[in-house]
């Protein structure tokens, strides 16, 4: 790999979490924030491994510590999940103030221009199940346990995918229903 001054890598995959919903941290329920999980497209793990290897060698030039953990090499183990046997990246960003600033910046390409989305636009465009490009920034932590992990700073919507939530697009679900009576009749409900 050619070493560059970049401290990030852009990876493509399927977003499998809702990046708009503030929730407690999985391991510490008192910490509230936003989770971003992206199941990597085939071949993307090589790009991630190269930048992580460069970072680890710069941090520990001779030998990694014996209890070193690489959290960027996570593979899904639940066979009913999209991540099963695939590499994924995951990041929890704490929101101490409750103002939503911990969310990653979200973008869409409009022609040749990449445009940052407002919160409302992002909620309409970026959802669990869509395909994204994610800016991942690996970093090392030396104490208390030496490890490498990453932050997901930006998401770019690439294309629609299968929605992974129970949400239903009301316009699509009720297309063709012009009145309450027609909806009731078509559904076979008693009025």
Model confidence over 109-136: pLDDT tens digits? 999 999 999 999 999 999 999 999 999 9
- Tell me the per-residue pLDDT of 162-182, one tens digit each, with 9 for 90 and over: 998 655 555 566 666 556 665
pLDDT at 4: 46
DSSP assignment of 80-126 equals TSTTBTSBEEEEEEE-SSSSSTTSPEEEEEETTEEEEPPHHHHHHH-
Cα Dmax for the chain: 76
Higher pLDDT among residues 46 and 101, named by residue: 46
Q: Is the pLDDT of residue 3 over 60?
A: no
Tell me what pLDDT residue 101 has.
85
Asked whether residue 2 carries a pLDDT value surpassing 50, the answer given is no
Helix (H/G/I), strand (E/B), else coil: 45 = helix
Of these ranges, 5-9, 78-82, 85-89, 171-175, the one predicted with the greatest mean pLDDT is 85-89
Statement: residue 27 has pLDDT above 90: no
Radius of gyration, CA atoms only, the chain? 20
Give the per-residue pLDDT at 1.
Answer: 33
Question: In the chain, what percentage of residues exceed pLDDT 90?
Answer: 63
Length of the chain: 191
Integer angstrom CA distances of residue 166 from 18, 120, 128, 169, 173? 12, 19, 11, 10, 13
Per-residue pLDDT at 176: 64
Structure tokens given for 50: 């190269």
Q: Provide the mean pLDDT of the chain.
A: 87
Q: Which DSSP symbol is given to 72?
A: T
For residue range 155-165, list pLDDT tens digits in order. Answer: 999 999 999 86
* Distance between CA atoms of residues 87 and 68, nearest Å: 19
């Amino acid at each position: 790999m050619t070493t560059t001054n970049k401290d990030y890598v852009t990876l493509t995959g399927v977003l499998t979490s809702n990046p708009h919903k503030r929730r407690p941290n999985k391991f510490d329920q008192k910490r509230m924030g936003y989770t971003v999980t992206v199941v990597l497209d085939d071949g993307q793990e090589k790009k991630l491994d190269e930048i992580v290897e460069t970072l680890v060698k710069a941090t520990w030039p001779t030998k990694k510590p014996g209890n070193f953990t690489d959290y960027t090499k996570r593979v899904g183990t639940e066979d009913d999940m999209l991540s099963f046997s695939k590499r994924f990246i995951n990041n929890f960003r704490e929101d101490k103030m409750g103002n939503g600033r911990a969310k990653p910046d979200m973008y869409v390409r409009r022609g040749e221009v990449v445009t940052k989305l407002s919160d409302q636009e992002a909620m309409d465009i970026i959802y669990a199940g869509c395909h994204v490009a994610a800016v991942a920034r690996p970093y090392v932590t030396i104490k208390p346990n030496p490890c490498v992990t990453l932050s997901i700073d930006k998401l770019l919507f690439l294309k629609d995918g299968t929605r992974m939530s129970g949400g239903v697009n009301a316009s699509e679900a009720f297309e063709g229903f012009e009145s309450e009576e027609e909806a009731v009749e078509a559904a076979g409900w008693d009025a």
